Every structure is written in structure tokens, then in C-alpha cells.
Chains A and B, each alone.
Chain A
């Protein structure tokens, strides 16, 4: 069962987590006892539930609970970090003292008594998961299975999965700021295996949001079933594209994995602060065509990458990274913001209380441009049109990135022809960004459950993109 949102006035999280303002002050005093510049306490209580269907039976359920507090002590750009899963005051103080070891033995500072501040809620929930019975979840995944089998008789097997989670978060700072946040999340997944003659293949679709049961309205459920089945059936007739360099047209929506890998990571400020990003010396420079504007937006209501406050307590916001082709801002946490003398962009995120925050993406999107999608396809004589993707990766410094296409079409003489599947596409980030020469007018935020990994930490992200043309990328095909 997910956790319910704590009721009542600001400060309700104290009671839920069993700590008082006095205890928090004592823990922060321990964190600053060796003279650290700053510190934060990050309390987290997460509960999640999953149900899974396999083999025509809803035969798996899982419940998971995570509870603890992480304490970070900052001295300049040095960080001491420790956490405790035991929320008794002595355990919290012991963690704070361990984190304080980073600082020199100089006279300590004292923290103010914390009071709760307002937080804008961008993830309101209409049907909270704690009020949804397991039987209701079971009925829903079963209906997805039935929908998949009845949509196409080539579907032979179906696996379905529904997860919901809610986290109660409390962030405390030594200047007295205290932020309480409630973070819902859900992910629905449907996987199909289909066969035709000797050919068999599997694929699926997933949808995710920071929302309650209302997310799964009838049209979303129909869409999930349709996408899962159609993406699987598509593979039965798909072949391999030719290998080598070619123009690539990326369809609107999930193609934003290109933005995420080729461009997004290189604009996280920590890599630039450490001078290891290829964008380290490019602020204010032209790095893309004038039609290219890229934002990283934590304010899209109920999106998977939505952030009411980041994990340092800074408000969620929309950061313009590239405006009309000019690099305008990195994504900052407090450490990098201080280094660059700018305000944090609300991008300090962490996987859980077990990790220190880092600059991370939220919902990374390219704004719509002037071109009609049909016009973009028509402009390519021989190339690849990419529809859906599975995963990607980047080398931040060298700039080379890759993403794995699950589903696409060859473009021949300006028309989509043969269906193709399962190829890796590789390129150089700055070169790929500079080679985006047409931008569609059809920006679409992808609904999938994307998860971004960095330095051993996973966080939920969203991404969106209009149809674009990249003049050349290397496709891992055959021949």
C-alpha cells in the first residue's frame, strides 16, 4: 500500500516521521559541529506496491518500504555524507557526526529551529493509491491482458505489471527552512510475445506519471494496450537497416532519448564544474541551429519528471538550456550554482536518502520548430525514421553517445518503406546537436517510465521532442 499524504497544517511530517523540531536542530548542530559551511537533512519514507500478471494469472504481489535519513555536510565543494535507517535521535546524531568528519576541527555553528515553508503541489492526486484495493489493481491488469489478446490473435503471451509508490519527504536546512513534500508515482507496463510462422518476438509499452488511479482513465488504458500489441506485431515483419552513416529522422516523443543522452548529461553543471564535459567552455556560444530550443522543466503537472521541490529544498522550475541554438544555462545543484555564482535551478536530485544530491535532469524537451513532420520525412532521400527506443548512454567528455532503436522505418525517396528493428545508433553529441537541421512543429512529451542513471543513482525523468532531422548518425545495421 502506498502512504497517504500526511494531513493537517505544515509540520504534519514531524509526527509521521517521529521527530520534533528540537531533534532536527540537535542533529544539524552535530552536522555543523566541526565547522561545515552548510548541511541538509533528507528524510524519506516510501511505500510501494506492485502486482504482476504472468501466465494468465495475477500471481505476484510485492510491497516495499524504505525509511531513513541522509545527512550531508558541505565545506566549499567538499561533501561528507552519511545516512541512517534508524530514526531515533541518537542514531540521527551519530550519522550527522560521521558526515561532519569532512570538516576541519574548527569551532562549530548552531542551526536555527526549523519551521515548515510552503511548497507548490504540482502532483495532485484525485484517487490516492492507499484508497485503491489490491482487488481493483488485480482487475485492471487482468483487463489489460484481455485487451491485448483480443486486439490481435498473433499475440501468444502477455505479461502485465502495475506499480504505485508514494514518498513522504522532509528536507531541513540550518537556516530554519523546512520543506515537506509528498511524491506519488505510478507505472503501468504491458509486454506481449507474438508469433507468425517461424518468426517470434516480444515488445511492449509502459506509461508512468506522478499521479493516482485517475491516471489510468479508459483512453489511457486503451492506448497502453494498443501500443503494446502494435509495437510487438510490428517486429514480426521488421528487418535490419543497412549499416553506416545516414540521415536519421526522429519521430516526436520518445526520440527525446537523443536529447537526454547526447545533450542533457553534458549540461549537468557538475561535469562542467569539474571541467570534464564537452560543453564546459561553451556558455553563450552557438551550439545548434536557430530552430533548436531545449528546456529542462520540473513544473509539468503530474509528469514523471515533475519536481515540487528538488532534493535540496529548492523550488521546481523550468530551465532554458539552449535558446535559439545558443547555450544559456547548465542544470545546477547548490554546489555548482555557488561555483558559477548563479542561482540553483532546482535540479539537485537523489535516488534516495542513501545518496547525496547531484545535478540531474527532470523533463528534458526540445520546443517545437517550424517544420511539418511530413515535410521532414519528404526531405530525406535515403535514411532511417526512428519510432521507439529502449535505452541510451553517453561518454560526457568525449561526447559520443548511443541509443537503441526498437522500431523504425527506412526512408526511401522521401517515403517510409520497410519496417526495421533492434539497432544501435551512435554519434557525437555536439556534432549531432549541430546537425539537427529541421525541427518539427509537433513537440510531444513522452508518457513512458524513463529512468536516468548517473553515478550509481537512478531518478525518474520525462522527455519530449518534436520530429527532427539529424543530417548524419551511424546506424548499426547490416552489410
Chain B
């Protein structure tokens, strides 16, 4: 908020934290500083509903004291407060039991992959709310015009943009920093059904660069198509159907596959996939990888959470599991080489046929394009989610569906994976096309 803060050098603060923590007795230190500016406009009923301005600065600290490890964070960076914060942090760490596997990565493990990821839109400027206000206004107006003949109860439009900068420094001398911007637009519309229900739909687009954003018309067309499609939704009959999983919501199901691949889950013996490395876990037509090096990608990064260089990594290749997500700590505990602790951009390659072509060959199928609640169990691989979407017959939408559940086990579901459509979604960190699974359990009426 103040000029003092704007000009603050994040690296200087990180260095101060490292020096102070070492003075207080820490053997190794990693200090991360992040500073962000974010502004958002919400419009409803032809006026601004909320204008929000955020300016944030916070520090996170990892300490190693006598083979004991701890993590801390603070947004109170006044110099006296910072000192007493670190004093408490070091003192608290000394009460732990030693854990020799808990160390910061060695200097030679740390590094950046030298690829220009173009994560910052340099045209972003702090301060001028007018373009954002105009964008929100034009979204609201466009939805109103486009949906003038639909039973609209309420429209809300959003526009936002921001920039965040982070600097990470290790006491062994390694340091890196990055800056990323974000621009976004969204709208929600609430429609009125004859029975009094008010189903709500949303359309949204968020990108790192302003010139990659959708046009307002693209957003509006997408929103209207989805909003109108769910009118009159009801549960369909319980049974087993082929499932077309819409490209925007693939993460909800494939996330069930990723959870048991985490190093901590494997170490804690809570993973149903711990024994499956280099074994079949899916139909041989299924492949998926993690690509952190896509320019302008939502999840792209030059270094991972441990500060190690990133690389493209195959997760499943022709149905065979090729990697786990193992960070440095869990690598030491599991006595395995670390890979990376978390996913960045998940990619499933598109197929050659459109969703419509795939659907036209199915006498009956359920298209799932939204989820409502539910959960999964990484220890067993079982999942159960609420869904909404459409009942299709020979490619025709015969009914909108909601208030249904989809349930099963991720291993048997992946075995019934058939193919991918030709429509990859490229707006988020899950870059996946619509996927087709055969013989999936749905419960409804």
C-alpha cells in the first residue's frame, strides 16, 4: 500500500531472515518472500457490487536446527516482530525429535530449468481501475443482450487482474525468483425454472497474459450454451452407462488417480498405487504426462517446490504407471530418487474425433460436465461424486441430468477408459480433452 512497501526488495528481506535465523542458531534456512497486487470488480444489477484492492507481502521460512525441521510464515515484517518471530521459531524447533531425513536440498540438487516461460505480461499496470471496470461492464451487458429471451433471474460479472512476485533464498547460496501476472473475466447467471428452482451457471477465463483472454462474446456464448443446457435437469435412472467426461472437469476424476501417487501418501502406506510402478493401471490407450515447461501455462514453473529444476515427466504411458510425485523429503524416507513433489500442467493427448462423433456411436451415455461434492479414498482408490450433465442417445441430448452420483474404483474405471476426443482444454493447468469411459456406475432414480 505504501511507497516503502512497493520498493522493498524481496531478496533483501530474504537475506535478512537468513542472517537472523542463523544468528539465532539455525543450521540451514530457506526464506521465501512473496508480494502481490490484485484488483477485482464485481458487477450486478447494472452497478458495481464490490471493488476489491489487495496488496500483500508475506514471508515463509523453513528451518533446520540440530537435525530438526520446521516451517513458519508471517505477514508481520516489522523488524522487531521479525526477530521475535524467528526467535520463537528456532526455539520451538529445538523441542522436536530429530529426523535425519528432514533436510533442505543439497546445493547441487537445486537449480532452474533454463526455458523462457513468459509468465509475466509486462503490459500489466497497477493502479488504473478504468479498463477493469469497462471489462466487467461489457461482460454484464453482453450477457444481458445475449440472454434477453432466456428466463434470467440474475447476472453477475467479474473482471480481475494482478501480479505476484516471489523470491526464494537458501542459506547455501542458491536463490531464484519469479513473477507472474493474471487476467480474468467471468460471469454467473441464475435462471428461473417453472418449478421455482434457480440453477446457476458460470463461464470463466483466466490467463497469464491479457492478449490470451477470450473475447467477451466467446465468454458469453460459452456461458449461455451451458446455462440453457441444464434447464429442466432431473436424475436419470440408476445404472451403468458410458461416461463422456467433459474436458473442463477431467481433473476431478483424474485427481483420484494422482492422489495415491504422492510421496507422503506412499510413505504413510495410504496409497492404493504404491506397488504399481511400471505396471498397468489403465487401458493401454491412456497416456498422461506432467509438463512444467509450457510457455504461458497456468502451472508452468522453472523450479519445483523444493527448488529443483523441472522437466517433462510421463505419468502414465500406454496404460503403464511411469512415475510417482516424490519430493526431496519423501525421497529420503522412501530411499528413492526424488522426482517432483507436485504436478504442474497435466496433459492428456487429444484423439482424432470430436465429442459429437464419439457420442453418435453410443446408444446411451451420460455426459458429465459438472460435479457436486463427493470424495475419494487414496488408500482404496474408491470414489463417489455428485454430478450433473446430460443423458445422450445416439449423440442427441435427450435430457439434462442432476442429483446423480457416479461411483467406482479408479483402477477399474481407468481400465474402462476408451478414448479421448479432439477438443483439448487449454485454459488451465489441466490440459485435457473430453474423455470416454465405458460401463460406469451412476445412481439416480
Given the complex, which residues of B lie within 8 Å of A9, measured CB to CB?
Answer: none
Q: Which of A67, A159, A392, A396 contacts B76 (CB 8 A)?
A: A67
Q: CA–CA, A80 to B133, complex, Å?
A: 13
Contact B53 A426 (CB under 8 A): no
Asked if B293 is at the interface (CB within 8 A of a chain A CB), the reply is: no
Q: Which stretch from A55-63, A214-222, A298-306, A372-380 is at the chain B interface?
A: A55-63
Asked if B225 is at the interface (CB within 8 A of a chain A CB), the reply is no
**Does any Cβ of A come within 8 Å of B166's Cβ?**
no
Which A residues are in CB contact (< 8 Å) with B405?
243, 402, 423-426, 474-476
Query: Does chain A have a CB within 8 A of B131?
Result: no
Q: Does A193 contact B (CB under 8 A)?
A: yes
* B-chain residues with CB within 8 Å of residue A412 when the two chains form the complex: none
Residue from B54, B74, B89, B405 having most chain A Cβ neighbours under 10 A? B405
CB nearest to B50 among chain A residues: A79
Is there contact, CB below 8 Å, between B441 and A478? yes
- Asked whether B47 is an interface residue with its Cβ less than 8 Å from the other chain, the reply is yes
Say whether A402 contacts B372, CB under 8 Å: yes
Say whether, besides A59-B69, A392-B373, A243 and B50 are in contact (CB < 8 Å).
Answer: no
Taking the closest CB of chain A, its distance from the CB of B66, in whole angstroms, is 12
Q: Is there contact, CB below 8 Å, between B71 and A474? A: no
**Option from A57, A85, A398 in Cβ contact (under 8 Å) with B197:** A398
Knowing A59-B99, A78-B47, A243-B407 touch, does A65 contact B379 (C-beta < 8 A)? no
User: Are B380 and A201 in contact, with the CB atoms below 8 A?
Assistant: yes
A424 in complex: contacting residue of B5, B56, B156, B386, CB < 8 Å? B386
Q: How many inter-chain contacts with C-beta < 8 Å in the A-B complex?
A: 268
Contact between B377 and A201, CB atoms less than 8 A apart: yes
Using Cβ atoms and an 8 Å threshold, which residues of chain A touch B215?
none
Is A119 an interface residue, CB under 8 A from the partner? no
Chain B residues positioned under 8 Å from A62 (CB to CB): 70-73
Q: Mark A76-88, 1 if CB is under 8 A from B, else 0.
A: 0111111111101
Scoring A201, A243, A245 by chain B CB atoms within 10 A of each residue's CB, the highest score goes to A243
Chain A interface size range? 35 or more
Q: Decide: B372 and A400 in contact? CB cutoff 8 A.
A: yes
Question: Quick check: is B268 within 8 A (CB to CB) of the other chain?
Answer: yes
Q: What B residues does A45 contact at CB under 8 A?
A: 76
| Residues of B contacting A399 in the complex (Cβ-Cβ under 8 angstroms) | 197
- B384, CB-defined interface residue at 8 Å: yes
Q: Is the interface of B mostly helix, strand, loop or mixed?
A: strand
Instruction: Note all chain A residues with C-beta closer than 8 A to B386.
Output: 393, 400, 402, 424, 426, 476
0/1 interface trace, chain A 418-430, chain B, CB 8 Å (1 if under): 0000111111100
Q: Are B372 and A404 in contact (CB under 8 A)?
A: no
**B196, A397: Cβ atoms closer than 8 Å:** no
Q: How far is it, in angstroms, between the C-alpha of A79 and the C-alpha of B42 when the chains are bound?
A: 10
Contact B373 A55 (CB under 8 A): no
Query: A441 contacts which chain B residues (CB < 8 A)?
Result: none
A401 at the interface (CB under 8 A from B): yes
Report B386-445 residues with CB < 8 Å from chain A CB: 386, 388, 402-407, 441-445
Complex contacts, B337 vs chain A, CB 8 Å = none
Question: Considering the complex, which residues of chain B in the window 365-393 have a beta carbon less than 8 Å from any beta carbon of chain A?
Answer: 372-375, 377, 379-380, 382, 384-386, 388
A201 partner residues in chain B, CB cutoff 8 A: 377, 379-380
Provide the residues of chain B in CB contact with A425, threshold 8 Å. 405
* A-facing residues in B73-124 (Cβ within 8 Å): 73-77, 81, 85, 88-89, 91-93, 95-99, 102
Q: A63-B85, A427-B403 are in contact. Are A91 and B5 (CB under 8 A)?
A: yes
Check: B142 CB closer than 8 A to any chain A CB. no
**What distance in Å separates the Cβ of B320 from its nearest Cβ neighbour in chain A?**
23
Interface positions, chain B 180-200, Cβ under 8 Å from A, are: 190, 196-200
Contacts of B4 in A (CB 8 A): 86, 91
Q: Is residue B280 within 8 Å, beta carbon to beta carbon, of the partner chain?
A: no
Complex alpha-carbon distance, A243 and B238, angstroms: 7
Nearest Cβ on chain A to B397's Cβ, whole angstroms: 18
Q: Are A59 and B373 in contact (CB under 8 A)?
A: no
A423 touches B379 (CB 8 A): no
Q: How far is the CA of A44 from the CA of B124 in the complex (A)?
A: 31
Contacting residues, chain B, for A397 (C-beta < 8 A):
153, 190, 197-200
Q: CB within 8 Å of B: which residues of A?
A: 1, 45, 49, 51, 54-55, 57-68, 77-86, 88, 90-91, 94-95, 98-99, 101-102, 133-135, 138, 156-157, 159, 193, 200-202, 240, 243-245, 261, 274-278, 280-281, 354, 356, 390-404, 422-428, 474-479
13 residue pairs bridging A and B, Cβ less than 8 Å apart: A57-B97, A60-B69, A65-B85, A91-B4, A94-B2, A202-B270, A261-B373, A274-B154, A278-B197, A280-B198, A398-B199, A398-B233, A426-B386
Ranked 3 nearest A-B pairs via Cβ = A476-B405, A397-B198, A402-B373
Given contacts A63-B89, A85-B75, 8 further A-B contacts (CB under 8 A): A51-B96, A65-B85, A85-B56, A85-B58, A244-B238, A397-B199, A400-B403, A478-B441
